[in-house]
């Protein structure tokens, strides 16, 4: 009996090893098949062989589709699963703002010149750097080449990462950065201000004039490149990212979507009041803006400008933009948001997905099922609350979840 068990164990281990070797052999073959594309992009044979020799996939990465296993899905990034009070935490903002003030002075010369050329405030550039890598203190955990190769092989967005992998090899071949220093996030963003390789080529700036675009070691290059990315995505010089306002008591929170855009002056005539008695100029009041209520009717409200959505293209999260925008403001003003965050609770991702499916069946939601309570989800929840006779607060609560489940 014992002998048969041992033989069975050996067979299982042997088969497991064989399957792993077969998978890795297929991965190696896949990587080799990319040579013609890499060559067409200007990657030398020497660089290709040097960077791919012995390369192995990392099957522990999120967002992969592995045969015989459920899709891993993207990880629960803080900006999508935390409530605003936890993500835009005052202690974090205060610490980063203090360091940002020091860096404003340290890099005053290049920051001033970049701001004059791009129209992007120095504080916004620094806030992106602070949010992305804690001003370079945070060591990114992954080898970029391995991440991109794995995502190109078994990721959900294979075609995108195929291109990113080849462009990473091109960067290495140009000698701008070593493989050791080319660390990244699980999704393949690299450098002080977190660029994909394709973004490096689209937006990268050699600000310090040394003949290289070095977003890994050169702070001026990294900040100028971040500013250029915002400019290329439509940044408007002289326009704030948002205005905090006090919403009227009977605000319709279902209007908190980008599609509902009005001049700021019209929002003010409808009862929205800038906090702390701020007076907006005629030019500011003429700017188009959308309503943002990150906690539904609870917590602060904002009128968001075009530049809010430009920052959102850097990272598609409302909380990310709030963090960056508020951090930028705090480098020149000590004031926190005038309205404190509420003590709201965030439902689990799968519960928000259940809500989104129910709202889709009801014809109230047309965006993707991702378990993230963004603008479109909150507005759809408010519309459902109206139809179901519930309190309309545009927030994913247990009460709304139970109601949606009961309506199936």
Per-residue pLDDT in tens (0 to 9) along the chain, 408 residues: 444 444 444 333 344 444 445 558 999 999 999 999 999 999 999 999 999 999 999 999 998 998 766 555 555 455 445 789 999 999 999 999 999 999 999 999 999 999 999 999 999 999 999 999 999 999 999 999 999 999 999 999 999 999 999 999 999 999 999 999 999 999 999 999 999 999 999 999 999 999 999 999 999 999 999 999 999 999 999 999 999 999 999 999 999 999 999 999 999 999 999 999 999 999 999 999 999 999 999 999 999 999 999 999 999 899 999 999 999 999 999 999 999 998 778 788 899 999 999 999 999 999 999 888 899 999 999 999 999 999 999 999 999 999 999 987
User: What secondary structure letter does DSSP report for 346?
Assistant: P
CA-based radius of gyration for the chain: 24
Task: Please tell me the pTM assigned to this model.
Answer: 0.90
Task: At 327, give phi and psi (nearest 5°).
Answer: -60, -40
Q: Are 204 and 218 in contact (CB under 8 A)?
A: no
Sign of dihedral through CA atoms 402, 403, 406, 408?
Answer: negative
Task: At 396, give phi and psi (nearest 5°).
Answer: -75, 90
pLDDT of res. 344: 78
Q: Torsion-angle region of residue 248: left (phi > 0), alpha (psi -120 to 50) or beta?
A: beta
H helical segments located in 107-177: 108-118, 122-133, 144-154, 158-173
Smallest CA-to-CA distance from 315 within 372, 260, 257 is with 372
Helix (H/G/I), strand (E/B), else coil: 326: helix
pLDDT of res. 11: 39
Long-range pairs for 17-25: beta carbons < 8 A, 24 or more residues apart: 23/57, 24/56, 24/57
Residue-wise over 14-25: b if at least 16 C-beta within 10 A, else e?
eeeeeeeeebee
- Which residue reads 């509420």 in tokens? 342
* Domain edges within the chain: 19-66+142-184, 242-304, 349-406
pLDDT of res. 298: 93
Q: Are 323 and 131 in contact (CB under 8 A)?
A: yes
pLDDT of res. 310: 98
Q: Are 393 and 382 in contact (CB under 8 A)?
A: yes
72-105 pLDDT, tens digit per residue, is 555 545 544 578 999 999 999 999 999 999 999 9
Helix (H/G/I), strand (E/B), else coil: 408: coil
């Amino acid at each position: 009996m014992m002998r048969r068990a041992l033989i069975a164990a050996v067979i299982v281990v042997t088969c497991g090893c064989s399957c792993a070797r077969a998978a890795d052999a297929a991965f190696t073959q896949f990587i080799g098949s990319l040579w013609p594309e890499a060559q067409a992009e200007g990657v030398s044979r020497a660089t290709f062989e040097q960077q791919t020799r012995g390369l192995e996939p990392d099957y522990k990465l999120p967002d992969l589709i592995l045969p015989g296993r459920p899709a891993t899905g993207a990880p629960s990034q803080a900006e999508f699963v935390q409530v605003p009070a936890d993500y835009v935490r005052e202690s974090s903002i205060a610490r980063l703002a203090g360091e940002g003030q020091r860096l404003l002075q340290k890099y005053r010369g290049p920051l001033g010149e970049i701001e004059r050329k791009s129209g992007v405030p120095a504080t916004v550039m620094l806030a992106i750097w602070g949010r992305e890598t804690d001003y370079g203190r945070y060591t990114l955990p992954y080898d970029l080449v391995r991440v991109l190769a794995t995502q190109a092989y078994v990721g959900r967005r294979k075609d995108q990462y195929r291109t990113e992998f080849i462009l990473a090899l091109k960067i290495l071949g140009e000698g701008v950065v070593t493989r050791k220093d080319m660390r990244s996030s699980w999704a393949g963003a690299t450098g002080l201000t977190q660029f994909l390789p394709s973004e490096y080529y689209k937006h990268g700036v050699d600000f310090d004039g040394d003949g290289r675009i070095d977003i890994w070691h050169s702070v001026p290059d990294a900040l100028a490149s971040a500013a250029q990315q915002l400019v290329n995505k439509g940044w408007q010089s002289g326009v704030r990212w948002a205005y905090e306002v006090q919403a009227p008591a009977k605000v319709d929170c279902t209007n908190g979507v980008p599609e509902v855009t009005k001049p700021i002056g019209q929002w003010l005539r409808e009862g929205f009041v800038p906090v702390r008695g701020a007076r907006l100029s005629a030019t500011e009041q003429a700017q188009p803006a959308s309503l943002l209520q990150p906690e539904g009717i609870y917590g602060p409200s904002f009128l968001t400008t075009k530049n809010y959505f430009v920052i959102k293209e850097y990272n598609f999260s409302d909380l990310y933009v709030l963090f960056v925008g508020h951090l930028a403001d705090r480098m020149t003003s000590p004031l926190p948001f005038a309205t404190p965050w509420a003590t709201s609770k965030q439902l689990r991702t799968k519960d928000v997905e259940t809500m989104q499916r129910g709202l889709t069946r009801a014809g109230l939601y047309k965006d993707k099922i991702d378990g993230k309570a963004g603008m479109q989800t909150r507005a759809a929840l408010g519309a459902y609350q109206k139809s179901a006779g519930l309190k309309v607060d545009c927030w994913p609560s247990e009460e709304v979840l139970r109601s949606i489940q009961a309506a199936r």
